[in-house]
Amino acid sequence: MDNNNINPKLKELTERLSGKWQVKGQEIDGEAEYKSMKGGFLLVMNVDFVVDGKKIKNIQHVAYDQDTDTLRAHYMDTKGDDSTYTWVLEGQKIRVSLGGKDSDTYFEATLNDDDSEYTGTWHYPDGGDQDAGEARIVYKRIK
């Protein structure tokens, strides 16, 4: 595989997120690990969380989708969820949308200046957004 053909947005996302992260929020605690695979054509995320007292493991594979010109992720977890997400990285902003990039169900976060932390919240179409302070999820780089 020719690394010169890697989508620049996937390359940037991979470079900025690769490593191990501690994840904390009001009802969430765990770790996430981001790794480049297949010569940089795939970003794989393995996540171990405790959410509302229940252990959950999930995996996401992010790759460039030529048909939609987006970074698409296939998500699977131990609860049986199997979904497609779209990742967008613009400057310091990350948006992870359920389905397409304009979905009204999305996680929006901001990376700090040295990419060692990002903080965000989930947003839902039914007005299920919690108070931003309560729903905030913080990812801190640990490796």
pLDDT at residue number 126: 76
Return all residues near 116 (Cβ < 8 A) that are at least 6 apart. 140, 141
**Which amino acid makes up residue 97?**
S
- The domains located in the chain, with CATH, are 3-141 (2.40.128.20)
The two tokens of residue 21 are: 């992260």
pLDDT at residue number 125: 86
pLDDT at residue number 92: 97
CB 119 within 8 A of CB 137: yes
| pTM confidence score | 0.89
Q: Which portions of the chain are predicted below pLDDT 70?
A: 1-4, 127-134
The two tokens of residue 90 are: 């613009």
Predicted confidence (pLDDT) per residue in 16-53, tens digit: 999 999 999 988 999 999 999 999 999 999 999 998 89
The phi-psi region of residue 90 (left if phi > 0; otherwise alpha if psi is between -120 and 50; otherwise beta) is beta
The two tokens of residue 138 are: 């913080």
Distance separating alpha carbons of residues 111 and 118, to the nearest angstrom: 4
The two tokens of residue 137 are: 């999820």
The two tokens of residue 34 are: 């981001």
pLDDT at residue number 52: 87
pLDDT at residue number 2: 54
pLDDT at residue number 17: 97
pLDDT at residue number 135: 83
Q: Among candidates 143, 140, 139, 122, which has minimal Cα distance to 131?
A: 122
pLDDT at residue number 65: 95
pLDDT at residue number 71: 97
